[in-house]
Structure 1
């Protein structure tokens, strides 16, 4: 979903006319129709009822209009909030993060620094529970965490979902599939990181196995993903599961999505006192 699609949808919803919406947006009418159509297809719902005489919002369209306006207002607040962050605490943003989130952190901070180049960012590593407590206590400003989060006094907003992929030996009988059935994990030794290291991935995999009615045999904990992948490629009758997918970059192994898909949610944690404008701006930066 793109911000542009939401802007075009809001314009049509408020004008109830594609031509007037196009004039308001200073674009050609086909572009408006195209972007709104893409939004509907991506969401899988019909937002507008069109006829040769009029355009009206559907029930789903009315509900989305409220949220779309909120998102667009938040986007417009990014510059202001970045300035507020820089003005407070000598221009320091204390950001709780976790392993594997480096690119998202870099991209989000870069967006804020476009308008506040003097902002100093201090990264604080730790588990989700510690980050939630830190945000609530004011010890850190915001946090990005993976997995389910239960935290009183903290706003928790889902920003993304990471698909899980299984790493198999290239000679496994299911290695040629586009997606590997999760039941395959019951045939091999399943190697996962210790829960204390990566609770989100660990819990998501085992929950998916329980849902599929299988009980995989757990092997040695994964302390180095690179080492585990090499061992699997050398013929170790095992499998591991990783977040995201970098492709089949190691000889002897394949990396495939699970079937059915398994995902781990990623969340933004921010103090409830931050206000909706601040929340929306941070969502826009780090989503």
Structure 2
């Protein structure tokens, strides 16, 4: 018995005409008649009554028609799933990243279904604004992004919260401590991006300082982390805040990096995707983001426990 024989049987049963069934199947009528007769021989029963001027189903044919349709439906589901899996296995995800993701990018890749096996990735290191523009335009499937709380046309999937680290001159007396209270920094100028360039970071840090009872004097706006660190390392009386992944790349002995005591100042890292993204790709990215979020949150809880 062959699946095409079931297909021909269902077509004739629905058309009750071998010629119309052949047209529907885009094959010759003799082939349809031949395969239906072979099926009847295989089943040792007659499916159609051909004795009159019209074709009719026998009682056995009527009873088998629902099962025949179910078989063909199952075949369609089987084929569709095979195509979907083949597409997934060949999928290429284009992801926009920053230059300071560090091991967090490994966490993201590890969290993918099957560890990302069979999936290709193309990473592009771009500035934040360009990353978002490329996702909106469909030239990127997703982008890692910090320092925003909304993005029109995009969905923001929470990945993790970065506890910010203080950077100040290694020659400053505060640099000899293991941890800092935020209030200890009240007299030092704060160097960071302007509110225009990074409103979420600016507002978060200023709000934390005000909660500690001081308004930090603002130094020149940071135009780039490396330039700011170079000026601080040269002895400028100032401090700034860094993401942990970026802090791990600092090798200058003239810079001291210290955590803040108590409740940390955190900034959320998101994965930005289009609201109209392909549902299957969106499902993969949503589940992966949730896995990363749980993993990083667990690590942070563990690190805060008393030793």
TM-score by length of 1: 0.56
1:125 matched to 2:126? The reply is: yes
RMSD between superposed Cα atoms in Å = 3.6
Q: Is the 8 A contact 1:201 1:243 kept in 2?
A: no
Structure in which a larger fraction of residues adopt strand: 1
Distance change (3 Å), C-alpha of 1:230 and 1:83: farther
Q: Which residue of 2 aligns with 1:164?
A: 164
Q: Which residue of 2 aligns with 1:251?
A: 253
Give the count of matched residue pairs: 203
For structure 2, list consecutive stretches of 5 or more residues without a partner in the other structure: 1-82, 294-307
Distance change (3 Å), C-alpha of 1:279 and 1:248: closer
Q: Which residue of 1 aligns with 2:35?
A: none
Superposed displacement of residue 256, structure 1? 0.7
Q: Which residue of 2 aligns with 1:238?
A: 238
Q: Which residue of 2 aligns with 1:264?
A: 267
Q: Is the 8 A contact 1:81 1:281 kept in 2?
A: no
Superposed displacement of residue 133, structure 1? 5.7
TM-score by length of 2: 0.53
Mapped partners of 1:114, 1:127: distance in 2: 25
Q: Which residue of 1 aligns with 2:150?
A: 150
The secondary structure found in structure 2 opposite 1:160 is: strand
1:182 matched to 2:182? The reply is: yes
Superposed displacement of residue 255, structure 1? 0.9
For structure 1, list consecutive stretches of 5 or more residues without a partner in the other structure: 1-79
1:43-65: per-residue Cα shift (whole Å, max 9, x none)?
A: xxxxxxxxxxxxxxxxxxxxxxx
Decide which structure has the larger Cα Rg and report it: 2
Mapped partners of 2:227, 2:116: distance in 1: 38
Q: Which moved more, 1:265-274 or 1:276-285?
A: 276-285
The secondary structure found in structure 1 opposite 2:210 is: helix
Distance change (3 Å), C-alpha of 1:210 and 1:283: same
Q: Which residue of 2 aligns with 1:93?
A: 93
Q: Is the 8 A contact 2:149 2:200 kept in 1?
A: no
Instruction: Map 1:108-119; keep pairs closer than 5 Å.
Output: 108=108, 114-116=116-118, 119=120
1:9-57: per-residue Cα shift (whole Å, max 9, x none)?
A: xxxxxxxxxxxxxxxxxxxxxxxxxxxxxxxxxxxxxxxxxxxxxxxxx
